[in-house]
Chain A
Amino acid sequence: MQAVIKTENLHKTYDDDGVPVHAVRGVDLEIHGGEFTALVGPSGSGKTTLLNMMAGLDTPSKGQAFLEDKSIGRMSGRELSDFRRDKIGFIFQAYNLIPVLTTAENVEYVMLLQGVSAEERRKRVEEMLEDVGLEDYIDTLPSKLSGGQQQRVAIARAMAAKPSLVMADEPTANLDSETSGELLDMMRELNRSTGMTFLFSTHDEIVMERATRVVILRDGRIAEDERKA
């Protein structure tokens, strides 16, 4: 199966007041289409840094990341923006919806940047909000929603633009276990029904239980890479 995203000998070294900190040390990783992968590791293991570089949010000190065989490091700032807009859907730990936009406007935002027609946007917003069970909250501002509801909107926003890959940073960290389980089941179902690829950074058992692949990072290196049947 073709790799959606791939890293080759990826390194990241930070300078901490003159002391080099090796956050990622030579990671080779391929994420294939349709996978539901959990990138697991303790704090400081380098999973966030690795995801940042894979998403083009941070630049590697050495090595390369490829999305659909295209080198992320060779892209200009504008190309990187367009690449993230079209290819990656993001789900953040603290939801990070745009607070001045309503539920529907948040979901619609990336499609607006993509230049999707108004009619198509409206259709996809309705579909996505129905999928995440928020069809009754179309005109609600994020501040009026619970944490679980906001994360549902974030999932809808990430998926509405039909990206190749959805990256989620600790998406359940601020949620109770029941809500986390519901959201994970929902994402797994979307993964099954649409074939969309998911990559999580997490140390939540609930995520690991549902992942089809678990990659364990330790001290910036891949310690284990387990595919479930």
Chain B
Amino acid sequence: MYLRFLKVAWRNLLRNKRRTLIAGIAIGIGLASLIFTDAVIIGMSDGLVRSATSSWMGDLQIHNQNFSRSMSAELTIERPDSVLSSLASDPRVKNYTRRVVAQGMLSSAADMSMVALYGIDPSRERSVSMLDEAMVEGSYVGGESHLVIGVDLADQLDVELGDRVVVTISMAGTGDLYQEMLRVGGLYRFGSAEFDKTTAFVSLEKAQSMLGLSGVHEIAVDYRGAEHWRSAPEEEIAHLAESGNVVESWVELLPQLQVMFEMSDLSTLIVGVVLFGIVIFGIINTLFMSIYERMFEFGVLKAIGTRATDVAKLMLMEAAWLGLLSIVLGSVLGLGLNLLFAEIGIDYTGIETAGVTFREPIYTISTANQFIKYPIIVFFVTLIVGVYPAVHAARLKPADAMRKSL
């Protein structure tokens, strides 16, 4: 009997094809919006992480365990050879680069500014960060007195390519001040105002000689699959740090991203609630329209012996078919949108969010979850919402329903 009821319910749904199609499309658009929103948020999160990590920071950073607290120049990475050997043998490590970091001051004839002066290995740095791609004028890091600064910092100091600036830093161990005149050899722009105004680069050897040390303060690592981390992968990466050092992922280095992701999840939830609200009223309206149009028919069905529970089941089956039709339409539409925007992207380049500047368009990312979880939710919401009109239909008194009955 259930099979027959399913057949009857399906045929009933097709009695008013236009209304069913409109209702199905409306619910389907709700589902497609949810799928697309989720795909955009995942794409945005991954893009944001990639922009943050690939532009400068790297997926992981290794420091002396006390370095972050005091930033003292002498706190270099412990047993660097062993750390480098661990990195070289880990198949998930794509690339890594060593850096020296010093807090200092840049002075020009016009102004002065506090900066973080990085000494970098120019060739290895290319494989981890995008400093070379961020160059807008002059040349990339290299050479004895070659200094690379941000365009914004150059404006502040009122210097151009070829101008000289004085670098003042505190030397390792003694804390003596060291000053040297360097020439502005290159200008970069990452797009993050704070970074571009406060960060300058020289070669690794130059920074080491200015500070009077042979070690490094930081190793930035490009690590496979890091963009999918949403919580600190402490155990996964702990083996990369020797005793006395600390390894931190971007999750810990950019806590603001974590907050943003949580807000994104909340946004998806709000979008979902609003969309489902619309969908719910759409379903109720469709099913009630169907009931009112067939009032006499329900009266007849009950008069000839259909039990109230069977009438309710029939209406629920109609709701189920409507749900199935809607999730097919919605999933196809959602997949189409996801595939389209995975190809063309949504251009957010240059826009700064949570201190990170998008360096690439947002490309939607489809997941199996979007096409399993959301359609299942839509189906069950349709069924649950269908209970109200089903109960209404079941409670109809045959004589009332038929108006002019026997």
B-binding residues in A (CB < 8 A): 48, 51-52, 55, 57-58, 77-78, 81-82, 84-86, 89-90, 92-94, 96, 98-101, 105, 109-110, 112-115, 157, 161, 167, 169, 201
- Please indicate the chain B residues that have their CB under 8 angstroms from the CB of A98 in the complex: 8, 297, 300-301
Given contacts A89-B304, A90-B304, 6 further A-B contacts (CB under 8 A): A81-B302, A81-B308, A96-B296, A113-B305, A113-B306, A167-B406
Q: Is the CB of A100 within 8 A of B303?
A: no
- B138 CB to nearest A CB, Å: 78
Q: Is the CB of A99 within 8 A of B304?
A: no
Q: Is the CB of A113 within 8 A of B406?
A: no
Q: Is the CB of B399 within 8 A of A57?
A: yes
- Please indicate the chain A residues that have their CB under 8 angstroms from the CB of B18 in the complex: none
Q: How many of B's residues come within 8 Å of A, CB to CB?
A: 26
B1 at the interface (CB under 8 A from A): yes
- Please indicate the chain A residues that have their CB under 8 angstroms from the CB of B1 in the complex: 112-113, 115
Against A, the Cβ 8 Å flags (1 = close, 0 = not) of B102-138 are: 0000000000000000000000000000000000000
Q: Is the CB of B399 within 8 A of A58?
A: yes
- B20 CB to nearest A CB, Å: 13
14 contacts between A and B (CB under 8 A): A51-B406, A52-B405, A58-B399, A78-B307, A81-B307, A85-B304, A86-B305, A90-B406, A92-B300, A100-B8, A110-B304, A112-B1, A113-B306, A201-B406
- Please indicate the chain B residues that have their CB under 8 angstroms from the CB of A92 in the complex: 300, 405-406
Q: Is the CB of B405 within 8 A of A169?
A: yes
B330 at the interface (CB under 8 A from A): no
Q: Is the CB of B406 within 8 A of A48?
A: yes
- Please indicate the chain B residues that have their CB under 8 angstroms from the CB of A114 in the complex: 305
- B137 CB to nearest A CB, Å: 75
Report the bound CA distance from A37 to B138 in whole Å.
109
- Please indicate the chain A residues that have their CB under 8 angstroms from the CB of B307 in the complex: 78, 81-82, 113
Report the bound CA distance from A57 to B399 in whole Å.
5
Report the bound CA distance from A73 to B11 in whole Å.
36
Report the bound CA distance from A86 to B300 in whole Å.
15
Report the bound CA distance from A99 to B8 in whole Å.
10
B1-35: which have CB < 8 Å to A? 1, 4, 8, 11-12, 15
Evaluate whether A77 and B297 lie within 8 angstroms (CB atoms) in the complex, with A52-B406, A57-B399, A92-B406 already known: no
Against A, the Cβ 8 Å flags (1 = close, 0 = not) of B342-358 are: 00000000000000000
Residue with the highest number of chain B CB atoms closer than 10 Å, among A58, A78, A81, A85 = A81
Q: Which of A48, A85, A86, A157 contacts B405 (CB 8 A)?
A: A48
Q: Is the CB of B15 within 8 A of A99?
A: yes
B69 at the interface (CB under 8 A from A): no
Q: Is the CB of B399 within 8 A of A100?
A: no
B227 at the interface (CB under 8 A from A): no
- Please indicate the chain B residues that have their CB under 8 angstroms from the CB of A48 in the complex: 404-406
- A53 CB to nearest B CB, Å: 9
Whose C-beta in chain A lies nearest to the C-beta of B395? Answer: A77
- Please indicate the chain A residues that have their CB under 8 angstroms from the CB of B308 in the complex: 77-78, 81
Report the bound CA distance from A36 to B91 in whole Å.
93
Q: Which of B8, B303, B405 contacts A101 (CB 8 A)?
A: B8
- A2 CB to nearest B CB, Å: 23
Report the bound CA distance from A115 to B297 in whole Å.
22
Against A, the Cβ 8 Å flags (1 = close, 0 = not) of B290-316 are: 000000110011111111111000000
